[in-house]
């Protein structure tokens, strides 16, 4: 279970996330909704252990989010993180170097299902194609939680059979309000 208790994150004098609390059970899909600047990306980065809250705490299966929990949480950022020389296959090799739970076979199967050429240079792909590569990379991990971000204009189809976790038993939307400070 993911437990977020009264989490606040400030950058200098700006409050990015203000007193957010929510719980997400295994197999549950949670959507973070809110206007630009309401803290969705910052909260996702804190869940992934890439940023630390100033106040409150985030726990995964009872443990504070940190080094030990990172292997159980797969995070797909909106930012570009591929090198210019990379093909889709290179991106898979890159992930396999970093994540012991990454399945190259599952990744390549996902690329095939999406009609993406593993030899294709990522820098020449459309933004929609790059989003599909990023989703395939994220879902090729055997992580127990996945945190994926996408821009509003990307509408990736539901990815079935790509993860080993429990099926989604329902969805919950959590609306983030613009910062309180």
Average pLDDT over residues 87-110: 92
Structural domains of the chain, with CATH: 2-175 (3.40.50.300)
Residue 29 has pLDDT above 60, yes or no: yes
Q: Residue 49's pLDDT band (boundaries 50, 70, 90)?
A: confident
Residue 145 has pLDDT above 60, yes or no: no
How far apart are the C-alpha atoms of 17 and 177, rounded to whole Å?
9
Longest dimension (CA), the chain: 48
Length of the chain (residues): 181
Residue 59 has pLDDT above 60, yes or no: yes
What phi and psi values does residue 92 have, to the nearest 5 degrees? -65, -45
Average pLDDT over residues 68-84: 76
């Amino acid at each position: 279970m993911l437990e977020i208790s009264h989490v606040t994150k400030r950058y200098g004098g700006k409050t990015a996330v203000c007193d957010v609390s929510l719980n997400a059970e295994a197999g549950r899909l949670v959507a973070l909704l809110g206007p630009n600047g309401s803290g969705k990306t910052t909260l996702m980065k804190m869940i992934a252990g890439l940023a630390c809250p100033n106040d409150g705490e985030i726990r995964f299966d009872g443990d504070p989010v940190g080094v030990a929990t990172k292997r159980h949480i797969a995070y797909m950022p909106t930012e570009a993180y591929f090198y210019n020389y990379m093909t889709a296959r290179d991106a898979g090799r890159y992930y396999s170097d970093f994540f012991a739970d990454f399945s190259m076979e599952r990744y390549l199967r996902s690329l095939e299902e999406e009609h993406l050429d593993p030899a294709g240079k990522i820098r020449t792909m459309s933004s929609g194609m790059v989003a599909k590569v990023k989703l395939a990379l994220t879902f090729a991990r055997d992580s127990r939680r996945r945190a994926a971000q996408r821009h509003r204009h990307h509408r990736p189809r539901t990815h079935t059979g790509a993860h080993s976790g429990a099926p989604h038993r329902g969805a919950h939307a959590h609306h983030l309000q613009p910062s309180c400070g």
